Chain A
Amino acid sequence: MAVMRYREALNAALREEMQRDEDVFLMGEDIGVFNGAFKVTNGLLEEFGDRRVRDTPISENSIVGMGVGAAMLGLRPVVELMTVNFSLLALDQIVNSAAHIHYMFGGQVRVPLVIRMPQGAGHQLGPTHSHCFEALYLHVPGLLVAIPSNAADAKGLLKAAIRDDNPVIFIEHEYLYGQRGDVPDDEDFTLDFGRARVAREGDDITVVGISRMALTAQKAAEHLADEHDISCEVIDPRTLRPLDLDTIVESVRKTNRCVIVEEGWPHGGVGANLAALVQEQAFDWLDAPVSRVTGADLPMPYSKPLEQIAFPHEPQVVEAVRALFGDV
């Protein structure tokens, strides 16, 4: 084990996989000479050279498309999009190409492509630079979707993503890059997709936290235990495709209550989807409606006081949980 920041764990994953497999290479805007907009690729150009660490022009759709084309011929490109916001420019290649090619060509060819991108609000970047889009990618069959919330998960999931033969949308979080955690330094440490992490065991209610909100949910759970004597089981799904619904449903059948916390928009969100699945498979065990805490249904405002109330914080989670016990 080593203590490292989330961004350092990602960097280690990239370095180890590039050392292990010559077919792994990186493409993205400012990932080389600049060392990455968030320094995730720090030092990799120096170590691997510009054949394997490729600075690209600002051409998101074509960068992803080239990744698809290279992956179809057996390479394992890792494409970095500077943020999830810019992935909208690449939606055609992500959906129509990366996600569909294996299926629409009858299984003849694989697309072992990883597309990394950070998301999240909180830095006063306004409407166009504060999105959370895990729900958008969760929507698309053919993609795998990872949403690591801590350094160890970031490393283990990224290494697994690079080794997998499917296209992976790997969503990091800008707030998490500086967070420290214990990370296994074993070069073969990988985490299977579709295996949720029970971040905290509890008996009274299941709280599912998505991406950064797994942390917010944990903090809320501490407060709820200390101040309100409510025992939360906090679950971080770690991946949304495939989803470890078994772990979540099992927990709900134990606690009989469920709150889902996400930073993205409410309509058609991860929580909306998960709430439907939970009620389908655990309806008889529920003592209260499945509840959601989400980002506000609006374009993210710039002004700090407005931005801060537009995405979930610990008090909103506490309130939502207490509401299910008729406590507020």
Chain B
Amino acid sequence: MTIEQKQQHEQELPEKADAREWLHAMAVIRRFEERAGEMYAKAKVGGFLHLAIGEEATIIGSVRAMRDTDYLISTYRSHGHALARGTNPNAVMAELFGKEGGCSRGRGGSMHMFDYERRFMGGYGIVGGNLPIGAGHALASDYKGTDDATLCVFGDGASNQGTFGETMNLAALWRLPIVFMVTNNQFGMGTALERHSAVLDLARKAEGYGIPGTQCDGMDVVDTHHTIAGAIERARSERQPMLVEAVTYRFRGHSMADPEEYRTKEQVEEWRKRDPIIAFSQRLIDAGLIDEGDADEIDKEALGIVDEAVAFADRSPFPPPESLYDDIYVLGDQVRGWYSVDERSAGVHRGEDERDLAEED
């Protein structure tokens, strides 16, 4: 990216209300993730916890370029995507707590957020696993004759999976309305980009499959928004799938269980100087769209939202034990109760179909 291009984007700040909302949304993600980390340390959150601190501009810049009717599909680092799409922070925190009030009813956890109503089609735990599924969403949009598009987000590590090549080829071949965004945070878990990918210019990695790529500054919410908006427009109107590389950095470890021995403190500090929230906030102040007081107020609001999310998650009950087998299957003509699948136990169980009870009488 040249300096000229960058300056051009800098002239395109969103309108005041949008600017404030973007900053607010980024602050909510930051404060949410910080609190989630604290809750993990308190053992209120189990399993893996992958935080997106440092990547807020990639999330809000891209998601704000989508229509409400578009589909978003993400990875195991997906709290921010759910929040960006409008999922209630209470439900996201409750999911981390494994509570019934969670956005996946406590069945998915940190890696598997989901919100069908807001067309957030999920976080996926397997690296690269979401690419073909996202392409399937785009195929469905195309098949139904809508002009909905799909934004499929994954990390630099996923660009080495087989599904990357397979899905790029299929999307280009069938001209699907999809934008692939590779969030290049410089590491596939603990392996640095230059040690896991022969091609470092990830934007070019799908060219051989017929998908043009472009790069944006993932620390700059405006640049990310501008680039993704253009890519979605091409995908939607020209049926030209696109790849966008958002260059960013995660300030925290891969997960909470990461000793971070693969990178230096100096490198982290260098990137922290480019903190996307501080940078955007300063630009808005410089442009006169907000003042220092507004910035403080936005942060306070974000903290309040997160406080409420934790309180809600604490209040929300754990799923009852008798619901253990709920939703393994859609019950109907073929599956008339989970007991018909787990044959070890032939008794009467929740989910059992009344017709079977009638037959036994």
- Whether the Cβ atoms of B135 and A62 lie closer than 8 Å is yes
A25 at the interface (CB under 8 A from B): yes
Count of A interface residues, CB-CB < 8 Å: 54
Given contacts A160-B334, A192-B334, contact A96 B129 (CB under 8 A): yes
Scan residues 189-208 of chain A and give those whose CB is less than 8 A from a CB of chain B: 192-194
Check A70–B126 contact: CB distance below 8 A.
no
Which stretch, B114-122, B180-188, B244-252, touches the partner chain A? B114-122
0/1 interface trace, chain A 8-47, chain B, CB 8 Å (1 if under): 0000000000000000010000000000000000000000
Among the interface residues B104, B114, B330, which one has the most CB atoms of the partner chain A within 10 A?
B330
Interface-forming stretch among B28-36, B44-52, B159-167, B300-308? B159-167
Question: In the complex the two chains form, is B139's CB within 8 Å of A70's CB?
Answer: yes
Contact: B343 with A106, CB < 8 Å? no
B89 near A: Cβ within 8 Å? no
Chain B: interface secondary structure? loop
Within B110-148, which residues are at the interface with A (CB < 8 Å)?
Answer: 112, 114-116, 121-122, 124-126, 129, 131-141, 143-144
B129 and A92 contacting across the interface, CB-CB below 8 Å: yes
Let me know if B104 and A69 touch, CB within 8 A: no
Which of B4-12, B197-205, B291-299, B321-329 participates in binding chain A? B321-329
Residues of B within 8 A of A96 (CB): 124-126, 129
Q: B173: CB under 8 A from chain A?
A: yes
- Kindly state the separation between the CA atoms of A62 and B106 in the bound complex, as whole angstroms: 28
Contact of A105 among B122, B138, B143 (CB under 8 A): B122
Query: How many residues of B are counted as interface, with CB atoms below 8 angstroms from the partner's CB atoms?
Result: 55
Chain B proximity mask over A103-120: 1 for CB below 8 Å, otherwise 0? 111111110000000000
Say whether B114 contacts A106, CB under 8 Å.
yes
Minimal beta-carbon separation of A39 from chain B (angstroms): 24
Task: Tell me the B residues contacting A by CB distance below 8 Å.
Answer: 71, 73, 102-108, 112, 114-116, 121-122, 124-126, 129, 131-141, 143-144, 162-163, 166-167, 169-170, 173-174, 326-330, 332-336, 340-341, 343-344, 346
10 CB-based A-B contacts, threshold 8 Å: A57-B170, A57-B173, A97-B124, A105-B107, A106-B102, A107-B327, A108-B116, A164-B334, A194-B336, A241-B341
Chain A contacts to B: CB under 8 angstroms: 25, 51, 54, 56-57, 59, 61-75, 77, 92-93, 96-97, 101-110, 141-142, 144, 160, 163-166, 192-194, 241-243, 245, 277, 280-281
